[in-house]
Amino acid sequence: MTKRLQVRDVGWSAGSRRILERVSFDVAPGELVALMGRNGAGKSTLLDIVAGLRSSAEGEILLDERSAREWTPTQRARLVSHLPQTVRADLTLTVEQLVLMGRYPHADGWFESAGDRDAAAQAMAECECEAFRGRRVSTLSGGERQRVLLAACLAQRPKLLLLDEPATFLDVDQQLHCFSLLRKQAEDGAACLAVTHDLNLALTFCNRILVLAEGTLARDVSTARALDDPAWLSLFSPRLEIARTPAGRPWVCFQ
Amino acid sequence: MIGDDRRRAIRWISASAALFVLAGLLLPLAGPSSLDLARAWAGEEPDRSILVQLRVSRTLLGLFGGGALALAGALFQAMLRDALATPYTLGVSTGASLGAVIAIALGWHTVAGVPGVWAGALGGALLVLLLVVSAASKQRHVSAFGLLLAGVATNSVCSALILLVHGLSGMSQSYAISRWLIGGLDAIDYPALSAFIAIVCALAAVVVRQARRWNLLAVGEAWAATRGADVGRLMTMGYLSGSLLAGMTVALTGPIGFIGLVVPHLVRARVSADDRVLMPCAFLLGGVLLASCDALGRVVLSPAEVPAGAVTACIGGPYLIWLVRRRL
């Protein structure tokens, strides 16, 4: 199987402080991968490097087995979408205008085409934000805004989705909806890499969990075998243990 | 559903354009001395000269100067993601003012065939432009934060120097400096005016063509970059075009305030925040507002004239307060 994303020996320093050290992993089409780790472990930095936002990073990123440096910004934006942790809250654009921005790499004209509008409408339906499509983004709640941002990413029709804490601000039902949506994107052939702090969401919906610790990739855990060797949990906190739900799934409990 | 936005955009832009043309036709008629159109049309003096040499040229300067300021304001508000950004935030206009003030203080009447004040202002604007770009591009890419920092620093240095030059100059120069710093429109000869209009239109076309990219930048630099925009190039391009628009206008009119702040806000609140509509409408309505303020200033205390800069401040200040109060 081809690899959608290959990360090779990626390193990054902020001034004299070393943030990431020789991180390597692959993500294949159809996979939903959680990128986890404690605060300051370098998760967002790594996601930014994969998104092409830090061009001076060491190492190499390959997209569809071609070096990311060889892609033009537009080619890359047609393949990869990035959901930022947050955007400014005082945007006076409407929800629909923001979602339509996802079509930017696909549209050349001054106005979006009917096809672009269809893609945006479908994305808004998937993220359940049609009801407020005409509202200004500045009037939305944090959770509503988060769903609109995800819709803008889906409207881009990416083959690789990079998500920085997609479930922040969402209520429990919307968190489940969000991860189901990502699961479905993966099943339809996309590759998804999501930063999250919720271990149970990751165990329930993701194929693998990448654990960053002190700037290195400490563990690459398959969620199907999470119960085999629970030592990886201690990378998050000494107060965690793993159990089984009545349905037989792994579940993390707090002590 | 499809095309609704497009129809709305075309409707608003056409309405603004109609107002722009209407202002160009009607505002030359306003003024302290009465004007007989029939006599002016027949080429009889002094009516013809008053209309053509004074009123029409001044109205056109107002229309295109106001347009340039409003467009530069809308552009900087998108680039800096700051609702209170103006064409003057990034230092160019203060640089232009410093150049003009020095030219007045030193009594330069003409430099290489153009009025000394214009030459000084253009020189000051270009100098600041080069300073800020070289300071901001020392970093790996030009960012909003870098531009803002360099611009604000330049602003305060130039303001301090303006006060210094002002303080050191004699009575008559001091009066001319104060008057220039309020900002206002004057009659202008047609070769200079047509050069100004041509450059403003070319720059405005360059800026408005990129409207979808300014929309992306208004959300965030990372947002724009991950949707395929070349952020570094876009920021440099936007800074240069916006500063040239503002710098050239300030050179001819002095630092007229509030047009660059009030007009984009008004369009954003009433029409659309989409730069594809916002920018053309801001350009056209900014021109209408400045030319109208100037016409108002000509008649309100006739035969004395109130400079357009004072009229825009009197209208813009209260509007801004109302806007802020409504938001709280």
Q: B42-101: per-residue pLDDT in tens?
A: 878 888 888 888 899 999 999 999 999 999 999 999 998 887 888 888 888 899 999 999
Residue B201 has pLDDT above 60, yes or no: yes
Contact predicate B96/B90, CB 8 Å: no
Q: Give the pLDDT score at B1.
A: 39
Q: Give the pLDDT score at B54.
A: 87
Identify which of B220, B227, B230 has the shortest CB distance to residue A87.
Answer: B220
| Residue with token string 């200040």 | B317
State how far residue A98 is from chain B, nearest Cα, in angstroms. Answer: 9
- A114 and A236 within one domain: no
- A100 and A139 within one domain: yes
Q: What is the mean pLDDT of chain B?
A: 88
How far is the C-alpha of A34 from the C-alpha of A103, rounded, in Å? 26
Residue A33 domain-assigned? yes
- In single-letter form, the type of residue at position A52 comes to G
- Give domain limits for chain B: 4-327
Going through chain B in order, the beta strands assigned E by DSSP cover: 110-111, 114-115
- In single-letter form, the type of residue at position B224 comes to A
B226·A78 Cβ contact <8 A: no
Residue A55 has pLDDT above 50, yes or no: yes
CB atoms within 10 A of CB B245: 30
Residue A103 in contact with partner chain B when CB distance is under 8 A: no
How far is the C-alpha of B284 from the C-alpha of A207, rounded, in Å? 55
Residue A153 domain-assigned? yes
Domain closes at, from A98, A132, A157? A157
Of A56, A66, A132, A63, the C-alpha closest to A93 is A132
Residue A205 domain-assigned? yes
- Enumerate the residues of chain B whose CB falls inside 8 A of the CB of residue A53: 222, 225-226
Residue A77 domain-assigned? no
How far is the C-alpha of A90 from the C-alpha of B81, rounded, in Å? 9
How far is the C-alpha of B66 from the C-alpha of B53, rounded, in Å? 20
Residue A12 domain-assigned? yes
How far is the C-alpha of B38 from the C-alpha of B23, rounded, in Å? 20
How far is the C-alpha of B216 from the C-alpha of B275, rounded, in Å? 10
Tell me the Ramachandran region of residue B195: left when phi exceeds 0, alpha when psi lies from -120 to 50, beta otherwise: alpha
Tell me the Ramachandran region of residue A22: left when phi exceeds 0, alpha when psi lies from -120 to 50, beta otherwise: left
Helix axes B190-209, B231-253, angle to 10 degrees: 160
B273·A93 Cβ contact <8 A: yes
Residue A234 domain-assigned? yes
Stronger pLDDT, B240 or B37, i.e. the higher one: B240
Residue A38 in contact with partner chain B when CB distance is under 8 A: no
- A51 and A167 within one domain: yes
How far is the C-alpha of A81 from the C-alpha of A78, rounded, in Å? 8
Please write down the long-range contacts of A141-144, taking CB distance under 8 Å and 24 or more positions apart: A141/A169, A142/A168, A142/A169, A143/A169, A143/A170, A143/A171, A143/A174
Instruction: Write out B243-276 in H/E/C secondary structure.
Output: HHHHHHHHHHHCCCCCHHHHHHHHHHHHCCCCHH
Binned at pLDDT 50, 70 and 90, residue A230 comes out as: confident
Q: Give the pLDDT score at B140.
A: 57
How far is the C-alpha of A46 from the C-alpha of B214, rounded, in Å? 27
Q: Give the pLDDT score at A1.
A: 60
Q: Give the pLDDT score at B132.
A: 83
- A136 and A21 within one domain: no
Residue A158 has pLDDT above 80, yes or no: yes
Please write down the long-range contacts of A113-117, taking CB distance under 8 Å and 24 or more positions apart: A114/B2, A117/B1, A117/B2
- Lowest mean pLDDT across A168-182, B174-188, B312-326: B312-326
**Structural domain range at position A151:** 88-157
How far is the C-alpha of B246 from the C-alpha of B240, rounded, in Å? 10
Suggest the residue from B214, B217, B227 to mutate for an interface test with chain A (most A CBs closer than 10 A). B227
Q: pLDDT of B97-148, one tens digit each? A: 999 999 999 888 777 777 888 899 999 999 998 888 887 776 556 778 888 8
Structure tokens at A116: 């672009």
State how far residue A96 is from chain B, nearest Cα, in angstroms. Answer: 11
Q: What is the mean pLDDT of the segment spanning A20-49?
A: 95
Structure tokens at B79: 């680039």
Residue A83 domain-assigned? no
Identify which of A48, A78, A92 has the shortest CB distance to residue B273.
Answer: A92
Q: pLDDT of A71-127, one tens digit each? A: 999 999 999 999 998 888 888 899 999 999 999 999 877 888 889 999 999 999 999
Chain A with chain B: Cβ pairs closer than 8 A:
76
Backbone angles phi, psi at A161, to 5 degrees: -105, 125
Residue B172, judged by CB atoms within 10 A of its CB (0-12, 13-18, 19+), counts as exposed
Domain closes at, from A142, A157, A172? A157
Contact predicate A132/A51, CB 8 Å: no
Residue A76 domain-assigned? no
CATH for the B4-327 domain, from 3.40.50.2000, 1.10.760.10, 1.10.3470.10, 1.10.3760.10 = 1.10.3470.10
Q: Give the pLDDT score at A247.
A: 87
Q: Give the pLDDT score at B139.
A: 58
Which CATH number do you get for residue A174?
A: 3.40.50.300
- Enumerate the residues of chain A whose CB falls inside 8 A of the CB of residue B275: none
A114·B222 Cβ contact <8 A: no
- A170 and A112 within one domain: no
DSSP string, B10-45: HHHHHHHHHHHHHHHHHGGG-SSS---HHHHHTT-T
Q: Give the pLDDT score at B111.
A: 75
- A238 and A131 within one domain: no
Structure tokens at B327: 């938001």
Identify which of B222, B226, B276 has the shortest CB distance to residue A110.
Answer: B276
Residue B327 has pLDDT above 70, yes or no: no
Q: What is the mean pLDDT of the segment spanning B142-168?
A: 88
- A246 and A168 within one domain: yes
- A180 and A139 within one domain: no
ipTM: 0.91
Identify which of A56, A90, A104 has the shortest CB distance to residue B227.
Answer: A104
Nearest residue on chain A to B217, alpha-carbon basis: A101
Q: Give the pLDDT score at B2.
A: 45
How far is the C-alpha of B20 from the C-alpha of B303, rounded, in Å? 27
State how far residue B257 is from chain A, nearest Cα, in angstroms. Answer: 24
- A147 and A31 within one domain: no
If you ran DSSP here, which 8-state letter would residue A136 be given?
A: B
Residue A130 in contact with partner chain B when CB distance is under 8 A: no
pLDDT > 90: percent of chain B: 51
Q: What is the mean pLDDT of chain A?
A: 93
B220·A84 Cβ contact <8 A: yes
Identify which of A87, A98, A104 has the shortest CB distance to residue B228.
Answer: A104
Residue A8 in contact with partner chain B when CB distance is under 8 A: no
Residue B164 has pLDDT above 60, yes or no: yes
Contact predicate B32/B299, CB 8 Å: yes
Residue B12 has pLDDT above 60, yes or no: yes
State how far residue A82 is from chain B, nearest Cα, in angstroms. Answer: 6
Q: What is the mean pLDDT of the segment spanning A39-66?
A: 92
- A144 and A184 within one domain: no
Domain closes at, from A125, A157, A189? A157
pLDDT > 70: percent of chain B: 97
Binned at pLDDT 50, 70 and 90, residue B3 comes out as: low
State how far residue A168 is from chain B, nearest Cα, in angstroms. Answer: 18
Binned at pLDDT 50, 70 and 90, residue B320 comes out as: confident
Our count of domains for chain A comes to 2
